[in-house]
Amino acid sequence: MGYEIHVKADRRDFLKKSGSLVLGAAATLAFPNIIRARDSRPTIKVVGTHVTLQEKIRKQAEQDLGINIEFYPGGSAEVLLRASADPSSFDLYEQWSNSINVLWQANAIQPISTNKLTYWDEINDLTKKGRISPNAKIGLGDAPYKLLNVQPDGSLGSRHTGEISFLPYVHNTDSYGYNSAVIPKGVPYETESWGWLLDEQYRGKVALVNAPTIGLFDAALAAKAQGLMEFKNMGNMTRPEVDELFKILVDFKKRGHFRGVWSSVPHSVDLMKSGEVVIQSMFSPGVSALKGMGIPCIYAAPREGYRAWHGVMCLSSESTGERQEAAYEFMNWWLSGWPGAFIARQGYYISNPERSRAHMSKPEWNYWYAGKPASEPLRGTDGYISVQLGEIRTGGSYINRFENVAIWNTVMDSYEYTLLKWNEFVLS
Amino acid sequence: MFGSLKLKHKIFAGFISVGLVATAIAVFSYGTFNLVSTNFRIFVNSSNSAQLGLLLARDVSEIQRQALIYTYEAHGSAAEQVHELYRGMSDTLQKSSEHESEYIKKIRAHLKAYMSTFEQLQKQKQLQHRLVYNDIRTSASDAEKHLRSYIKLISNHEDHTSLLQDERILNTLLLVEKNAMRYFDSLDPQYIGEAKENLAEVRKRLQKIEANDTSKAAMDHIRPAMKEVVEYERVFLEAVARTRGYLFLVNVVMAAEAYEVLYNAKLMSAQISQEMGEIEQGTFSMLQQVIGTLVVAIGISLLLVVILSLLIGRSITNPIVSLTTAFRALSKGSHHAEIPVYEADDEIGHLTRAASVFKEKNRQTEQLLDHKKQLAKELEGNKKELERSNDELEQFVYTVSHDLKSPLVTSMGFIGIIQKLAAQGKLEEAVEKLDRVVKSNERMGQLINDLLDLSRVGRVDMDKIDIDLNELLASFHEVHSQQIEKAEFTMQIEPGLPVIYANESRILQLFENMLSNALKYAYNPAGSVLSIGSKEHDDAYLVWFRDNGPGIPEEYHEKIFGLFYRLDPETEGTGIGLAVAAKVMKFHNGKIWVESSPGEGATFWLSFSKNEEDSE
């Protein structure tokens, strides 16, 4: 899942918190069913992760919109459970596209009318059609465009209907990171490969992210790159394929190939910092943190393509009336330019980038979106220098990166089964 | 230096040295065993920690197994087992807090997170359980009850086809529950879709009935049925969400935490095993070194003991052996026994000094014995002398009585004759006879004078002086020249005579006797010569008187020095002269003897000691 944040303040242990459901469950039960008005202005509740539920964004939105906004950030699993189990606990849900099926299946969210989205026409083809450019790979799994449109039969599909399941906004690509002090530096898109994760020479020093909807695809991409197995559709594996993949993974694990799994970005940083791991699934904030510590961690551009993620903003099935209108205002605000520029400085992309361009300096745009060397040191959202002069973003430009998407984070039909197998893998 | 030590100090030094070595070995051994003991304690602690790692690994596997049992089977006892295992593991970790390592800290943190997640899981599971086994069934039952009531109401006036369709709603409603339960049993999301489709169909049919039937009966039953169906779907989907939630918790979050516990426990055990191996290896190496060192130390100490024993033993036995030998010799009276040099002021030193004292005593004893022998010899000599003196005395008495008696008898005879002649009146003849009496008396007088001279030797004129014999004899010759000429002798005195330490009167008496003796007995018709000379022999001066007379037979060489002994009784004299000479020489601790053969003259030798003290 994407958490490419370049500021230390946003390096949160999302998966850790995704497991911290005590508060979540309590909060779920404690959520008021009636949204209180404050200062006669409408108030909306937003649940999501720390990636987008940032205080600066909330304050800016309140200021710009004149509404009250309450953020309830949490771990991805926590907020998904909360939202799917209790739609009345939120108005807007911010998470990843792989949670859409769960929410939609749970009737936790309602269709969003594109007519009410001011900048709908500016949203690029990545989300609308599945390709950022005509030559781009669509990517396996739940590519966002497949889940975007609400079909007449109530299902989700790619055909435009005027109603969508989520507002396309923040997205990014993920891959693996490796310590170039140990592993020779590869050539992006040429020699760097997901297969490195299952390279025997790194035995005992490999880790995966502890999330079946993410780490499983890293492992699947690695197994395929190593020629260990083929998938009919890696984005929606059959049970036999899941069995075969886990057989391979368990076999590797029993031979001591994996150090283990990491459950938070700090955990991933510790593993590579301590030398326990030299190559692993990584999120952008972890790579930045390691670089800041002087560890030459390279965020690979695998020749097989990235594992991409797409943020979704969903409207609660319980949100109606004034709150629903305020929620639409907040969604439109997100695509109005300032928020896109804000999160661009944290390494994330917005679905209508041109609208944000006006809010970014030319060097910022060139570095974050155009894939050019930084012509000056660039500051992150915390005000500190996050990009040094001359630095180039790995993987190139926004277009380059999203032209090379191998797969999207996906909740497969075999989700529950993968959970069981994941347990077996982790403890084998 | 060692030899100068006292005996007890040597023994003490030996014992102290051995004691020091033994103490050093004991201290070294103590240090070693202390180290081994420390290592053993560490080893035991490490072993306990390693066991802790194994226990944690075992328990965490079991706790996850129980958690999974609880998750899938909803067995309350499994949840209790999870809590029980957690408490046990927490207690175990608490007990090991003394030796808390980074691994223990991590294990504790992961275990805490694990348990916290399990508690969340329990809540989700309980909620899910209520939803599945209560709420869903309640909703399904209520919806079914409303539908059945509606069907019962309309059964009297509805056609058969409509009834069948209404019955199908009930069947579809049952399929919802069936599919829902299939999902919760199989966790296959396919059944979620099917259940949702069933619900959608039920809703659709109810909506159709509601649209077609506006009767009160329809309103009283279809609307509540629709409400229950909506609630049914909400409850079902919430149950699905909570199912997925706890599945995620147990299979992803808890599995990862459990694995981290396992991983750290294994690392801890591996590290401890490695440390134990190092301790074992270190201890083994140390013991080998210690054993080697101890063997060397014991060898050195034994060598030291042997050397010290030898040194001490030899320092004790050698002097004792030497002293024994010395004492053995001393016991035999030797004063030549070699006393060993022993300077120490100890018992052997005392013995050594005692031996020296014995040696000195022996020497003195031997001197006394020598002196005794000398005295005995002297006594023997004295005895012989005394016997000789007695013989002389007897001879003397006999001679005196005989020689004195002879003139007396002669005198008395002549006196008788004179008396007879006087009686006969032959006075002239008698007077003539008186001369004979006078002569006899004169002879007796001469005898008495000579005896007096003899008795004076050694009693009077005892003073001794250095006498140059050259001068003395020259004067002697001059004094007696007429006498010598009268006797028709020639006296020759050789030069180079010695100076002797003697009594001059006695020496002159000696020379006079020698001269008188020669003149009486050494007449040589061819010309008598008496020559006097001397020579040195050892520590004595030998003065000789040599004549060319008839000589003296050897059997008389001793006798002639006897009192009143005369070679020729016809010759004038008393026979005392040579006896006096012998006594004078004796007085001077000298000797006199004669060498002579008949017809070849005689040489009288006079031996004077060169040492004045010997002449005393």
ipTM of the complex: 0.83
Q: B544: burial class by Cβ within 10 Å (0-12, 13-18, 19+)? A: middle
Which comes out higher in pLDDT, residue B596 or A4?
Answer: B596
Residue numbers of B between 258 and 277 with CB closer than 8 Å to A: 258-260, 262-263
Q: What is the mean pLDDT of residues B252-269?
A: 90
Q: How many whole angstroms separate alpha carbon B252 and alpha carbon A239?
A: 18
Where does the pLDDT of residue A38 fall: very low under 50, low under 70, confident under 90, or very high at 90 and above? Answer: very low
B607, B616 contact by CB (below 8 A): no
Q: What is the mean pLDDT of residues A163-181?
A: 95
How far is C-alpha A2 from the chain's CA centre?
A: 3
pLDDT of A40 > 70? The answer is: no
Q: What is the mean pLDDT of residues B28-44?
A: 79
Q: How many whole angstroms separate alpha carbon A236 and alpha carbon A351?
A: 25
Instruction: Look at residue B281 in the predicted model and tell me its pLDDT.
Output: 84
Query: Could A85 and B244 be called an inter-chain contact, meaning their C-beta atoms sit closer than 8 Å?
Result: no
Kindly state whether A27 is in contact with chain B, defined as any CB-CB distance less than 8 angstroms.
no
Instruction: Look at residue A8 in the predicted model and tell me its pLDDT.
Output: 33
Quick one: residue A130, left, alpha or beta (phi over 0 = left, psi -120 to 50 = alpha)? left
Query: Could A22 and B113 be called an inter-chain contact, meaning their C-beta atoms sit closer than 8 Å?
Result: no
**Lowest mean pLDDT: which of A313-317, A355-359, B398-402?**
B398-402
Set of chain A residues whose Cβ sits within 8 Å of the Cβ of B71: none
Instruction: Look at residue B416 in the predicted model and tell me its pLDDT.
Output: 84
pLDDT of A244 > 90? The answer is: yes
Percentage above 90 pLDDT, chain B: 21
Q: How many whole angstroms separate alpha carbon B582 and alpha carbon B454?
A: 10
pLDDT of A226 > 90? The answer is: yes
Three-state SS for B12?
Answer: helix
Nearest to B309 by CA among B6, B23, B4, B13: B13
Mean pLDDT of chain A: 87
Q: How many whole angstroms separate alpha carbon B592 and alpha carbon B604?
A: 7
Nearest to B74 by CA among B66, B85, B63: B66
Nearest to B170 by CA among B153, B146, B191: B146
Q: How many whole angstroms separate alpha carbon B394 and alpha carbon B532?
A: 34
Q: What is the mean pLDDT of residues B459-464?
A: 72
In degrees, rounded to 5, the angle at the alpha carbon of residue A116 between the alpha carbons of residues B204 and B237 is 40
Q: How many whole angstroms separate alpha carbon A258 and alpha carbon A276?
A: 10
A2, A348 contact by CB (below 8 A): yes
B520, B528 contact by CB (below 8 A): no
Residue B173: both structure tokens together: 């409603």
Nearest to B253 by CA among A272, A23, A262: A262
Q: What is the pLDDT of residues A344-370, one digit of tens each?
A: 988 899 999 999 999 999 999 999 999
Antiparallel, parallel or unpaired: β B489-493 and B528-537: parallel
Q: B560: burial class by Cβ within 10 Å (0-12, 13-18, 19+)? A: buried
Q: Which residues contact B401 (CB under 8 A, 6 or more apart)?
A: none
- Residue found by looking up tokens 């629709």 in the block: B226
Q: How many whole angstroms separate alpha carbon B542 and alpha carbon B608?
A: 6
Residue A321: both structure tokens together: 């009336």
Instruction: Look at residue B161 in the predicted model and tell me its pLDDT.
Output: 62
Strand partners, A280: A177, A207
Instruction: Look at residue B399 in the predicted model and tell me its pLDDT.
Output: 66
Kindly state whether B253 is in contact with chain A, defined as any CB-CB distance less than 8 angstroms.
yes
Instruction: Look at residue B538 in the predicted model and tell me its pLDDT.
Output: 86
Q: What is the mean pLDDT of residues B158-179?
A: 78
Where does the pLDDT of residue B162 fall: very low under 50, low under 70, confident under 90, or very high at 90 and above? Answer: low
Q: How many whole angstroms separate alpha carbon A348 and alpha carbon A285?
A: 11
Q: How many whole angstroms separate alpha carbon A143 and alpha carbon A306?
A: 13
Closest Cα of chain B to A384: distance in Å? 33
Q: How many whole angstroms separate alpha carbon B64 and alpha carbon B260?
A: 12
Q: How many whole angstroms separate alpha carbon A341 and alpha carbon A347?
A: 10
Report the predicted TM-score, pTM, of the whole model to 2 decimal places. 0.65
Residue numbers of A between 211 and 230 with CB closer than 8 Å to B: 211-212
Supply the angle between the helices B102-130 and B7-73 in degrees, to the nearest 10.
20
Kindly state whether A57 is in contact with chain B, defined as any CB-CB distance less than 8 angstroms.
no
By C-alpha distance, the chain A residue nearest B238 is A85
Instruction: Look at residue B102 in the predicted model and tell me its pLDDT.
Output: 84
Q: How many whole angstroms separate alpha carbon A198 and alpha carbon A209?
A: 14
Instruction: Look at residue B541 in the predicted model and tell me its pLDDT.
Output: 93
Kindly state whether A417 is in contact with chain B, defined as any CB-CB distance less than 8 angstroms.
yes
pLDDT of A27 > 60? The answer is: no
Instruction: Look at residue B359 in the predicted model and tell me its pLDDT.
Output: 84
Q: Residues in chain A, how many?
A: 428
Residue A179: both structure tokens together: 């310590």
Where does the pLDDT of residue B56 fall: very low under 50, low under 70, confident under 90, or very high at 90 and above? Answer: confident
Q: What is the helix (H) or strand (E) element at residue B544, kind and residue range?
A: strand B540-547
Alpha helices by DSSP H, listed for B332-426, are 347-399, 405-423
Instruction: Look at residue B41 in the predicted model and tell me its pLDDT.
Output: 78
Instruction: Look at residue A274 in the predicted model and tell me its pLDDT.
Output: 94
Instruction: Look at residue B3 in the predicted model and tell me its pLDDT.
Output: 61
**Lowest mean pLDDT: which of B15-29, B254-268, B381-395?**
B381-395
Q: Which of B68, B240, B252 sits opposite A106 (nearest CB)?
A: B240
Q: What is the pLDDT of residues A256-290, one digit of tens each?
A: 999 999 988 889 999 999 999 999 999 887 887 88
Q: Which residues contact A352 (CB under 8 A, 6 or more apart)?
A: A119, A122, A123, A124, A335, A340
- Residue found by looking up tokens 């099935």 in the block: A317
A192, A300 contact by CB (below 8 A): yes
Supply the angle between the helices B76-95 and B102-130 in degrees, to the nearest 10.
160
pLDDT of B387 > 80? The answer is: no
Q: What is the mean pLDDT of residues B369-378?
A: 82
Query: Could A107 and B252 be called an inter-chain contact, meaning their C-beta atoms sit closer than 8 Å?
Result: no
Alpha helices by DSSP H, listed for A52-124, are 55-65, 76-85, 100-105
Kindly state whether A281 is in contact with chain B, defined as any CB-CB distance less than 8 angstroms.
no
Instruction: Look at residue A161 in the predicted model and tell me its pLDDT.
Output: 95
